[in-house]
Amino acid sequence: MSQARPPAPAAWDSIGLVVFDVDGTLYSQRLLRLRMLRDMMVHAASTRSLDVPLVIRAYRRIHEWIAEREVSDFDTALVAETAEATRLPAAKIRSIVDEWIECRPLPYLALCRYPGIEALFAGLRRKARTIGVLSDYPAVAKLDALGLEADHVVCASDKGIGILKPNPRGLKVLIDAAGVTPSETVLIGDRAERDGAAARRSGAWPLLRSAEPLDGWQTFVRFDDPIFAKFLDA
Ligand SMILES: [Mg+2]
């Protein structure tokens, strides 16, 4: 089965669509969260309220198990469960998530962007590859903040998707939009149990950014690794 075989760099010749996850793949999530944590502390001190850190923590925890259980219409369930866990109204959860997960991080993204990604995007374009983006969070504003442009962007909350990775629905939509087959597609992500699994389930190649080797997965450390050499030669 092709699904069990890690993609060899030589397989790039048959790849027409290169899909990127966003968070933790295009930028350092650890660095961003440190900055956001600092801002949250300042905010908590000035408002004398821990609502924001408590909501964000609960939201992220619930996000994980809703992804694992592949809940449809995940957004409604996620907000309702977070409201219940924090005993705050759903409207308050939405406004905190919009502000602290969607908006406030945007100005920090460029600083947290991984080196080499811009050159890789340019190389992919030069070699006539289609670039897709697949994210569990809204991604258009983030791509803009990162200074990156994709041909197709699909987010879990888009109409007709409504489900998080590892469910492969979003990836299938991208593959159809690009007019390629799954075996002509690579999904580059940072989480084996989310990005890797979504790729394998749809028959695409998974490629994971990881500082450590991951058993059974093809990995890379940086965007200027030899695995991308084909796209980096000027
Ligand atoms: Mg990620």
What CATH number is associated with residue 145?
3.40.50.1000
How far, in Å, from the CA of 183 to the mean position of ligand 1? 22
Give the count of domains, the chain.
2
Question: Are 99 and 155 in the same domain?
Answer: no
Question: Are 158 and 228 in the same domain?
Answer: yes
Domain boundary among 51, 79, 108: 108
* Residue 1 confidence (pLDDT) above 50: no
How far, in Å, from the CA of 180 to the mean position of ligand 1? 23
Instruction: Report the percent of the chain where pLDDT is more than 70.
Output: 95
Q: What is the pLDDT of residue 11?
A: 79
Question: Are 42 and 154 in the same domain?
Answer: no
Mean pLDDT of the chain: 94
Distance CA 34, CA 37 (A): 5
Beta strands (DSSP E) in the chain are 17-20, 130-135, 152-155, 185-189, 205-209, 219-220
pTM of the model: 0.94
Q: What is the pLDDT of residue 10?
A: 53
Question: Are 129 and 223 in the same domain?
Answer: yes
Question: Are 12 and 126 in the same domain?
Answer: yes
How far, in Å, from the CA of 48 to the mean position of ligand 1? 32
| For range 102-125, the mean pLDDT | 97
Question: Are 52 and 94 in the same domain?
Answer: yes
What region, left, alpha or beta, does residue 150 occupy, with left being phi > 0 and alpha being psi -120 to 50 degrees? beta
> Which residue matches tokens 């925890």?
61
Q: Decide: residue 134, CB within 10 A, 0-12 exposed, 13-18 middle, 19+ buried.
A: buried
| For range 95-103, the mean pLDDT | 97
How far, in Å, from the CA of 192 to the mean position of ligand 1? 10
How far, in Å, from the CA of 182 to the mean position of ligand 1? 20
How far, in Å, from the CA of 190 to the mean position of ligand 1? 5
How far, in Å, from the CA of 159 to the mean position of ligand 1? 21
Q: 153: helix, coil or strand?
A: strand
How far, in Å, from the CA of 90 to the mean position of ligand 1? 26
Question: Are 20 and 95 in the same domain?
Answer: no
Q: What is the pLDDT of residue 6?
A: 52
Q: What is the pLDDT of residues 53-62, one digit of tens each?
A: 999 999 999 9
Question: Are 20 and 51 in the same domain?
Answer: no
Helix (H) or strand (E) holding 86: helix 74-86
Question: Are 127 and 225 in the same domain?
Answer: yes
Question: Are 19 and 123 in the same domain?
Answer: yes
Q: What is the pLDDT of residues 178-200, one digit of tens each?
A: 999 999 999 999 999 999 999 99
Q: What is the pLDDT of residue 144?
A: 98
Q: For residue 68, how many C-alpha atoms fall within 13 Å in the half-sphere facing its CB?
A: 6
How far, in Å, from the CA of 45 to the mean position of ligand 1? 30
Give the domain extent around 215: 8-27+113-232
What region, left, alpha or beta, does residue 57 occupy, with left being phi > 0 and alpha being psi -120 to 50 degrees? alpha
R_g over Cα of the chain: 18
* Residue 8 confidence (pLDDT) above 60: no
